[in-house]
Every structure is written in structure tokens, then in C-alpha cells.
């Protein structure tokens, strides 16, 4: 091993191979659920250095855990406890290499913060629409490696849809230079999408060419009380029809989730939370290429039509940016309010939008029957069919003990129901080391066989992030 | 071989294994550039039959050429002359299995005509936006296998971006059931995008779940004369800014291409073709979710701003659907007018939009210098950076002799220039058997190595469409 560390120091410089001191920034995951022990944390500064590190580790048979901002939620970038794995941190590759406004593209290195990419686009008068809670800490390389989602997928797609080209270091330590800024390119197999979402197990993304968009002239936010989740789905269809591509967010929140916000974050005023006919609320955002007045007129036409069809009980449109931000703070405050209420079991699931109301009714009933008193914190990106379907221990009960006793059972009930409704057990958070067992259980044998074939073909030595995604 | 044919007859029924008579509908390509000889044309009716055919052929070591509507332009679905290959026609798998309006999805079998898919969406009041000249004959399976482009890519993306899930028969004759209608699903590697665009060399697509969109309330078409291609690029940026997602088409046409239309299709009246300041014209389409009046107002604001900035010389907006169709007929008439003028050399290329004007200036000068008198028919989807950069023999010269003498040289000049400008030698038509050599020449060794590794891993026997895409 000291030979390998010597070689790594030669490649990246002795100051960038960390083996001592507090390595928790790299060894501990974001949600503090796992703490590993790395052989070393290696911080290359260039793509060529990344390639050389991979070649050195491959030669030594040492596994590599690629890491971006270390904000993942599925333990895909946390080293295991063996002390045998290298953490390869990409954060020093943090240059925005080019912005091309006429081509509506931007090329950034993997370690650029998502926020820095958004800023570089904004400085060119354009929009990079990927947006997540962790955008100040996560990196674009990690976003692509995990195919991140977020709040604007409805209009602009996941990280995958926002990427035109990649630069990747392969498991053999070669560099694939695929940074093409082309909207159309049918010259062989789609290598790009194979690496995107593979969580560093097939190759290491070192740079990407990304799509940019015109910035909207105005953004307006509204909040609607709806009589049921099924009505929220009807409202979604109406919103698509009225606003088309202007509809950039459609978030649904169950009453209990909102009550938690009201209780634990009392500085936020939650509209309609005690409205008798509002078991659900919806936050909508309309991004308009014309003007604020036009955005408001379109919203009003939508709300009128929704009221006439009985799919909303009441609604407010934010009068200004501050009000809009307050509405978003309610939506984004749910995870915090939930944490303040106590430990809980989180699920990041997707089902077809047409079945989502039935799924929630079915699964709510199942959980309430099996675990009386259990409280369901349901909210999320309804426009994408993606819910955070979280389970809070019964009131007054010891949450830690409840989780210990019931977490596996709750997960099985929820994920079985998801499968039954044609859904996904991991909509936007990925598999990592956390959901490897679920992947084996819920993907078909044919799909698993294909995935294993791809892994063996591209990384026969199993050097890249072994044990993550597939075992 | 008679054993294999016997088995195939057992699988699909004796009437659907064709070995005699006129098989040109399957053995000859669309543009009549190649005629092969198949061992048999096999027409299964179900996915299970497709799988059984693949298993039988794999056991016999017989290569399979999957075929949809046989409208491909790169000889990807034409059998070779050996008489050893089976043509596996998917056209009997032609059921639209489901339309799910609330989920904005549709599931169709591979052999459904593109037009039938568009129709099924329209009957549900929705839009399936993929649109190509051959939509009455091509199949959705072929569209996905070749990642088809067309006229609305600017707004809705290629076939790839319009697909959420696939059902695929693997080279081993297994069925991967990946027909999920989910906008977010991060559960392992992206198998879907690996099969899309692989031209039947990695697996056989038997069905797909596709994205649907709201139908626009109005569509308006405009035609602008521009002082140069660089001005057209400036107009494109303005159009993005003014119309945002409303901009559904942005087609550019050089003057010589339009002169050919005027000459050979005199029933079409070409605006501005003799305008002194119109070396290029642009066709724009604005799809509006509100109303025709609103679409017109937005267009007028765009044109005003474009006139003020000097990036258009003149413009007309179609007053009604008939006028709009006439403008589209001009654009779509170019290939026919070109054919009437005589044989020519076609290129389907893409370069970054920011470099397209320089690319055309550079390559025009190069060709004119190397082959004096050569005439350039340049037109295409400028909004996607995708040009059909075609070369017509000098006036009065024997086109066939010219092509024989110069086609390879012209191709080399054009494709070298494309590579120099960071572009693609096949934007939307694919590789097939026609551009295998270009793939080897212009893809990097690392990319080719990865593609060969994938092919060997997924189809180790080389049963699926051998010799296409990769050799």
C-alpha cells in the first residue's frame, strides 16, 4: 500500500493525498448515517491526474470511491469501513471551461458546485435549470453521476436531459473526450447516458457540456387548496393545458406535512392548512417568457377553470417575490419540520401520475392497518409522479424504538406497493450502497443480468465504486 | 438451414416466413441504393415470438436484421447479399397497448406507424411530437432504434427524449420488460438509452412507453429573409428569448436550395427568393398554448425586434393554415427539387450553432476551390445545429460521372471540416452499413473501444445486425 500512496503523491502532489487527521468531510455521509475509513483521500486537479490515479489504483487492485460534494442520500460516495478504499474527490476540478450563449451550452468540470454552474449561466443572461436543496454544496459531476432531479424536472427534465456531452475516465484509466455540444448526434452507442446515473461504478465523470435555456421574463407562484389528491391530479392536467411549458413546478403536500411546518416553523404562515376542504395543497410555478402581467393572467385563467371544475377549494397567487419565496419556504421546510417532530422513515418513490392517488390511498390504509397510529408525511414533485412518502412514528411513542422495530417492515410494505403500482423505489436519490438489496429485489432478473453484464464489461476488475448499485 | 426455417415456421406460422417471390419490400432500401438477399423474411406477431425467433437464429448462428418500416437512410435494415441473414420484420407488432392521458404517456408496439402513434395521441386530445417526412411509413420501433430527429427536436427533443420505457428482446432471446411510464427512476443503469439509437445491434425493441404533451392552442408559421447565415443564428437567439418553448421549428434554407424549388416545383411560390438581401431564408413556427391572436402578437414582437437589430431583411407571417402549409411545402420540397436537378451527394451533419456560419463559409470555400462550379444545396434544422449540406454537380456536367469521380473526395472534405468544427457526421440518420467507415475514422479510439466492448458484452455471438454501426 505504501507503494500506491507513494505513486498517488507523485501524481497529485503530496499535499493532496490525505491519510491522517480529521477526514470526516469525506468519510462521513451527508445524513450522518454511515462513517467509513478510507485508505486515503486523493484530490487530483486535472482529468489527466484522475486518469493516472485510476491506473495506479487498478494496478494495485485498490477500489476507488469517486466523490463530488458528498451530499448524496444513498451512501454512494461514502467509503466502507475496511480502510482499503481510496476516496477520489473531484472538487479541485472546478473550472467552468466555456460558456457558449449562441449554442446554449456551458462546459464545466465535475467539481464545479451546481450553484456555480447556475451563476455562470446567469452571467451570460441564460438559465441552467437544475435546482436542488443542496445546490450550494453539491457538484455537477455528482448531479450527473446520480442523475439528480429536483424542483424543475417537470419542465426541463432530470440531470440526464440537461447534458449533451461528457468527459469520462474509464476503469482502465483512459479518457473518453465526449464533450460535444450537439443537439443531434447519431454516431454510435449512447455512451453518455450509460455513465450518467451509474453512480461512479462504470466510469468517473470529469467534465460535462450542459444545455442552457432562455431565462423566463417572469415567475409567478400560486398555492391551491384541493379537496383530494385525485383533484390535484386533475388540476395538474388543467395546468399542463393552460400553461404548457410555462408550468415549471407542481408540488403537492398532504395536510399532516403542512401541520408539522405550522407547528415547528411557526414563523411561516401556511395558507389553507385548517381549510375544511383542503386535505392537500399544491404549489404551482408559472415561468413566463413575456411578462409578470401575462403570467398572472394565465394563472388566473387556470384558477378560474379549476374552480369551475371543482378541482380546487381555494387559491392564492403570490403578489410579489417575497410572498413567492415564503410559499417555497413552506414546501422546503417540510423535511426540517419532520426532523423536529422526530426520527422518521423516508421513501423517495415514483408511480405513474394516473395511479398516484390510488397508490397513496392503498398504502396509507395498509400502513394504518399494520401499524396503528402511524403518521404519514406525504409531499413531493407530483408533476413528476415523485413523492417523498415518509412515515413518522405514532404520536408519543419512542421514535427510535419504533424505527428499530418496524423500519424494515415499513420499507417492505411501501416498496411492494410501489412495485404493484408500476413505480420506482428510488425516483431521484439513486441506489448507492443503501438500496442495493432493493435493486436486487425489485428489478427484473433480465434487467439485473444486463446491468451486471455492463459492469463486468466496462470494469472487469471491479475497481470503480464496488458494491454500490450492484453486488 | 432448412431446420432453422422449419423452426421459424413453427414459431410464427408458415405464412409468415417468406423465402420466395418478390421480397424487394424488405430486401431493398428506401433510397434504392442497395438490394440484399435474405435467407427469409420472418414476421412475428408478438414479443414472445420475436424472442423465440432470436433464440432459434442464435442457436443456428444465423444473423438477424431487424426491420421496421424500411425507411432508413443509412442501410441499417437492409440484408446483405450473402443470403445468410434473416430479416426480422416488426410490422405485425402494431398495437397501441395503452394511452394514459393523466400520466401523459402512450405505450405502443414497435411496428406501429409513427402516424398511428400521433393519431392515438390526438384522439386523447394530446400530442406526440415526433414528426418526420416518412411518418406515414416509418415505425416507432425504427424511430427509436435510430433515435430519429425531425422538425420539432428544437422543442421536444429527439426520439430518445420522447421515450420513458422500453420492452426489448436481447441477443439471448430474453425479454426485458422496461415499459415504465415514470419521469423519474434512478434504479440502476440506463438500459433504455443504450438500446435507443443502437440500430438493432444490441437488442430488438418490441414496444415503448412514450411521452405525450398538451396540444398547442395555435400554431403560426413565419418566413424571414436574412442577410446572412450569421444573422439567422442571431435571429435564433432572439426567437428563443421571445418565444421560449413556443419556438417549435427554426429551419434555414440557402438561396440556391430555394431557387431549385422555384425552378422545379413552380406551383410553389417562394417568398423573397430574389430579394437582394436574402441569401438565406428562415422558416419559424410558434406553437402557442393560448390563442392564435397571442401567437401572432408574440411573432410580431419578435419580428419588430429582429428588424430593429438588423438580423432580418423582411418577413411574412402566414395568415392561415393553408399559407402555413405552403411555406412548409417549400421547405419539404427541397429534397425533391434537388433530385429533379440531378444526382447529388448528401450529408446529414451537425455542428455547434455558434460555429455553423463559420463552418459553412469555410466548407463552401474549400469545395468551391477544390471542385470549381460545384453547387451547394444547404438547408436544415438550424435550431438543432443540423444541416443537410448537399453537393450538386456543376451545371451542365454529367452528375453520375461527377459523383463517381468525386463523391469520396467530397465526403472526406466535408466530414473533415465537420470534425474540425466539433461536429457530427451523422446528426439524425445514423450509421447503419453506410457510415461504418466514418464511425471508425471520426470517433475516438476510446469511444470505439467502449462501443466494441458493449457490443461484445451484450451480443457475444454477433447475431444482431452484424456489420452495422460497428465492424
Please give the CATH topology (third level) of the domain spanning B2-89. 3.30.43
Whether residue A395 is predicted with pLDDT greater than 90 in this model: the reply is: yes
**Chain A contact present for B386, CB below 8 A:** yes
Q: Where are the domain boundaries for CATH 3.30.465.10 in chain B? A: 96-214
> Under a CB-based contact definition with an 8 Å cutoff, are residues A425 and A411 in contact?
no
> Under a CB-based contact definition with an 8 Å cutoff, are residues A303 and A315 in contact?
yes
Whether residue B153 is predicted with pLDDT greater than 90 in this model: the reply is: yes
- How many angstroms separate the CA of residue A430 from the nearest CA in chain B? 5
**Chain A contact present for B351, CB below 8 A:** yes
The CA R_g of chain B, rounded to the nearest whole Å, is 23
Distance of CA A252 to the CA centre of its chain: 17
Q: Mean pLDDT, to the nearest integer, of A203-216?
A: 97
What is the model's pLDDT at position A33?
87
3-state secondary structure of B135: coil
Q: Mean pLDDT, to the nearest integer, of A14-31?
A: 95
| B-proximal residues of A, 282-321, CB under 8 Å | 289-290, 298
Please, what is the angle between helix A399-420 and helix A356-370, to 10°?
A: 140
Strands B85-89 and A163-170, by their bridges, are unpaired
Q: Where are the domain boundaries for CATH 3.30.70.2190 in chain B? A: 218-420
Q: Where are the domain boundaries for CATH 3.30.43.10 in chain A? A: 2-89
List B350's β-bridge partners, or say none.
Answer: B386, B424
What is the model's pLDDT at position B252?
98
The architecture that CATH gives domain B218-420 is: 2-Layer Sandwich (3.30)
**How many other CB atoms are there within 10 angstroms of residue A142's CB atom?**
30
Residue B137 and residue B112: Cα distance in Å, rounded?
9
Q: pLDDT by residue (tens digit) across B348-364?
A: 999 999 999 999 999 99
List A159's β-bridge partners, or say none.
Answer: none
C-alpha cell at B410: 467530397
State whether A427 and B237 contact (CB < 8 Å).
no
Q: Please give the C-alpha separations between residue A376 and each of A82, A256, A344, A346, in angstroms, as whole numbers.
A: 37, 7, 10, 10
Q: pLDDT tier at A138 (50, 70, 90 boundaries)? A: very high
Whether residue A31 is predicted with pLDDT greater than 90 in this model: the reply is: no
- How many angstroms separate the CA of residue B387 from the nearest CA in chain A? 10
What is the model's pLDDT at position B31?
85
Q: Which residues contact A405 (CB under 8 A, 6 or more apart)?
A: none
- How many angstroms separate the CA of residue A214 from the nearest CA in chain B? 6
Cα separation of the two ends of chain B? 25
| Closest by Cβ to A427, choosing from B185, B193, B442 | B185
Residue B342 and residue B391: Cα distance in Å, rounded?
11
Q: pLDDT by residue (tens digit) across B414-427?
A: 999 999 999 999 99
Residue A445 and residue A390: Cα distance in Å, rounded?
28
Q: pLDDT tier at A402 (50, 70, 90 boundaries)? A: very high
Q: Mean pLDDT, to the nearest integer, of A209-218?
A: 97
Residue B98 and residue A357: Cα distance in Å, rounded?
19
Backbone φ, ψ for residue A373 (5° rounding): 90, -10
Residue B445 and residue B161: Cα distance in Å, rounded?
27
**Chain A contact present for B103, CB below 8 A:** yes
Q: Beta strands of B355-435 (E only): which ranges?
A: 375-381, 386-392
| Closest by Cβ to B186, choosing from A183, A216, A428 | A428
Q: pLDDT by residue (tens digit) across A334-378?
A: 999 999 999 999 999 999 999 999 999 999 999 999 999 999 999
Please give the CATH topology (third level) of the domain spanning A96-214. 3.30.465
Residue A227 and residue A313: Cα distance in Å, rounded?
6
> Under a CB-based contact definition with an 8 Å cutoff, are residues A327 and A223 in contact?
yes
Backbone φ, ψ for residue A443 (5° rounding): -80, 150
Q: Mean pLDDT, to the nearest integer, of B106-133?
A: 97
**Reported ipTM:** 0.97
Q: Which residues contact B448 (CB under 8 A, 6 or more apart)?
A: A188, B439, B440, B470
Q: Specify the residue for cell string 451486471.
A: A452
Contacts of residue B181 in chain A, CB cutoff 8 Å?
352, 422
Q: Please give the C-alpha separations between residue B274 and each of A468, B250, B262, in angstroms, as whole numbers.
A: 64, 21, 10
| Closest by Cβ to B454, choosing from A189, A298, A449 | A189
C-alpha cell at A422: 408500476
**Which of A454, A23, A350 is closest to B164 using CA atoms?**
A350
Q: pLDDT by residue (tens digit) across B300-345?
A: 999 999 999 999 999 999 999 999 999 999 999 999 999 999 999 9
Residue A408 and residue A438: Cα distance in Å, rounded?
11
Q: pLDDT by residue (tens digit) across B34-43?
A: 999 999 999 9
State whether A190 and B153 contact (CB < 8 Å).
no
Residue B427 and residue B233: Cα distance in Å, rounded?
19
> Under a CB-based contact definition with an 8 Å cutoff, are residues B386 and B349 in contact?
yes
Whether residue B1 is predicted with pLDDT greater than 80 in this model: the reply is: no
- How many angstroms separate the CA of residue B213 from the nearest CA in chain A? 8
A401 φψ region: left (φ > 0), alpha (ψ -120 to 50), beta (else): alpha
Residue B464 and residue B185: Cα distance in Å, rounded?
28
What is the model's pLDDT at position B451?
98
Residue B243 and residue B247: Cα distance in Å, rounded?
5
Strands B17-18 and B38-42, by their bridges, are antiparallel
| B-proximal residues of A, 5-34, CB under 8 Å | none
- How many angstroms separate the CA of residue A338 from the nearest CA in chain B? 24
The CA R_g of chain A, rounded to the nearest whole Å, is 23
Amino acid at each position: 500500500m505504501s507503494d500506491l500512496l507513494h505513486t498517488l503523491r507523485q501524481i497529485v502532489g503530496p499535499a493532496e493525498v490525505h491519510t491522517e487527521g480529521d477526514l470526516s468531510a469525506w468519510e462521513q455521509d451527508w445524513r450522518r448515517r454511515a462513517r467509513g475509513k478510507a485508505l486515503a483521500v486523493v484530490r487530483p486537479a486535472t482529468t489527466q491526474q484522475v486518469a493516472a490515479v485510476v491506473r495506479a489504483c487498478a494496478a494495485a487492485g485498490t477500489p476507488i470511491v469517486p466523490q463530488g460534494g458528498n451530499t448524496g442520500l444513498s451512501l454512494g460516495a461514502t467509503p466502507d469501513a475496511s480502510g482499503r478504499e481510496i476516496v477520489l474527490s473531484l472538487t479541485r476540478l472546478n473550472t467552468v471551461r466555456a460558456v457558449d450563449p449562441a449554442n446554449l451550452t456551458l462546459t464545466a468540470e465535475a467539481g464545479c458546485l451546481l450553484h456555480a454552474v447556475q451563476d455562470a449561466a446567469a452571467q451570460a443572461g441564460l438559465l441552467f435549470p437544475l435546482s436542488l436543496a443542496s445546490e450550494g454544496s453539491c457538484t455537477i459531476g455528482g448531479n450527473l453521476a446520480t442523475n439528480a432531479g429536483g424542483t424543475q424536472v417537470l419542465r426541463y427534465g432530470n440531470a440526464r436531459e440537461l447534458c449533451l456531452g461528457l468527459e469520462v475516465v474509464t476503469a482502465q484509466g483512459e479518457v473518453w473526450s465526449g464533450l460535444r455540444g450537439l443537439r443531434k448526434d447519431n454516431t454510435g452507442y449512447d455512451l453518455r447516458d450509460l455513465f450518467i446515473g451509474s453512480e461512479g461504478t462504470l466510469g468517473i465523470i470529469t467534465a460535462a457540456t450542459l444545455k442552457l435555456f432562455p431565462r423566463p421574463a417572469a415567475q409567478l407562484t400560486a398555492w391551491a387548496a384541493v379537496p383530494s389528491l385525485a383533484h390535484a391530479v386533475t388540476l395538474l392536467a388543467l395546468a399542463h393545458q393552460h400553461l404548457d411549458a410555462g408550468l415549471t413546478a407542481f408540488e403537492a403536500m398532504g395536510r399532516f406535512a403542512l401541520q408539522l411546518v405550522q407547528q415547528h416553523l411557526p414563523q411561516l404562515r401556511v395558507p389553507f392548512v385548517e381549510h375544511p376542504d383542503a386535505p392537500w395543497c399544491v404549489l404551482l410555478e408559472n415561468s413566463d417568457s413575456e411578462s409578470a402581467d401575462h403570467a398572472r393572467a394565465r394563472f388566473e385563467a387556470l384558477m378560474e377553470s379549476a374552480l369551475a371544475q371543482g378541482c380546487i377549494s381555494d387559491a392564492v397567487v403570490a403578489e410579489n417575490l417575497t410572498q413567492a419565496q415564503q410559499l417555497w419556504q413552506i414546501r422546503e421546510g417540510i423535511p426540517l419540520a419532520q426532523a423536529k417532530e422526530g426520527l422518521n422513515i423516508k421513501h423517495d418513490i415514483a408511480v405513474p401520475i394516473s395511479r398516484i392517488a390510488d397508490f397513496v390511498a392503498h398504502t396509507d390504509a395498509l400502513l394504518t392497518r399494520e401499524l396503528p397510529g402511524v403518521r404519514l408525511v406525504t409531499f413531493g414533485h407530483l408533476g413528476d409522479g415523485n413523492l417523498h412518502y415518509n412515515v413518522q412514528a405514532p404520536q408519543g411513542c419512542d421514535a427510535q424504538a419504533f424505527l428499530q422495530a418496524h423500519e424494515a417492515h415499513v420499507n417492505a410494505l411501501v416498496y411492494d406497493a410501489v412495485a404493484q403500482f408500476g413505480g420506482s423505489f428510488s425516483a431521484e436519490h439513486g441506489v448507492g450502497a443503501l438500496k442495493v438489496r432493493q435493486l436486487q429485489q425489485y428489478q427484473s432478473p433480465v434487467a439485473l443480468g444486463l446491468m451486471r453484464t455492463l459492469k463486468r464489461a466496462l470494469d472487469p476488475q471491479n475497481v470503480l465504486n464496488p458494491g454500490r448499485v450492484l453486488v
